[in-house]
Amino acid sequence: MNAKHIHRMTAGLLGLFILTHLGVHLTALISKEAHFKALDIVQVPYRHPVGETILILAILTQIFTGFKRLKIKRKSKDKWARAQVLSGIYLVFFLLLHSSAALYTHHIFGIDTDFYWAAGSMHFSPIKYGFAIYYFLAVTAVFVHLAAALHFGWKGSSGRLEKTISITGALVAGLIIFAFWGVLYDITIPADTAAYYEKYFGIFGLGGS
């Protein structure tokens, strides 16, 4: 089994997790209570030590095999090959940063990575602007990477579906940011979560939204 096949196998597992995770975040458009309920359901498998270990291994395997595939894809002049490379590089950056932050926050700092942890990044100025860009690019990159994989897997594709998937990713990203920005309803960040953001981002002079 070569790097390409392993990359596709772990991509299926990781893709299911990511799309489920994004679906949970979209429930924040309804209410924070809806988000809590949805998160409680999906956290059951990946908060279990075995599930968490499998997820971490899938992320690391995806990154390792992705770099091996990068050597091949970067030589191609196809625009979707470039899109796959660029989105893949950003996803490596995001997955390493976001997954390590989530693990540290939950296991070391002792704060649940729930609705308020996500909303906190969109609550305090000026970091909320940086986090908005960071998350927007990450969510969009997921869909662009998926679209590129579809492009190369479906030889008869005209490119229209790939563009639609990519645009959908940008729309989903915008909706998630909108949901956590505090536009639809008031969001009060709990003291422990606020203290977390003050500890690690206080140097920027945090203020409420």
φ, ψ at 14 (rounded to 5°): -70, -35
Residue-level pLDDT at 71: 65
DSSP string, 95-110: HHHHHHHHHHHHHTS-
User: What Cα–Cα distance (Å) separates residue 128 from each residue in 10, 96, 151, 208?
Assistant: 32, 20, 34, 10
- Identity of the residue numbered 124: F
Residue-level pLDDT at 13: 85
**Tens of pLDDT, residues 83-125:** 999 999 999 999 999 999 999 998 888 899 999 999 999 999 9
Residue-level pLDDT at 35: 98
**Tens of pLDDT, residues 33-92:** 999 999 999 988 877 888 888 888 888 888 888 777 676 666 667 888 889 999 999 999
Domain boundaries of the chain, sorted by first residue: 3-202
Residue-level pLDDT at 208: 65
The pTM (predicted TM-score) of the whole model is: 0.90
Residue-level pLDDT at 58: 86
Residue-level pLDDT at 87: 95
Residue 145, pLDDT above cutoff 90: yes
Task: Provide the 10 A C-beta neighbour count for residue 34.
Answer: 15
**Tens of pLDDT, residues 148-172:** 989 887 776 777 899 999 999 999 9
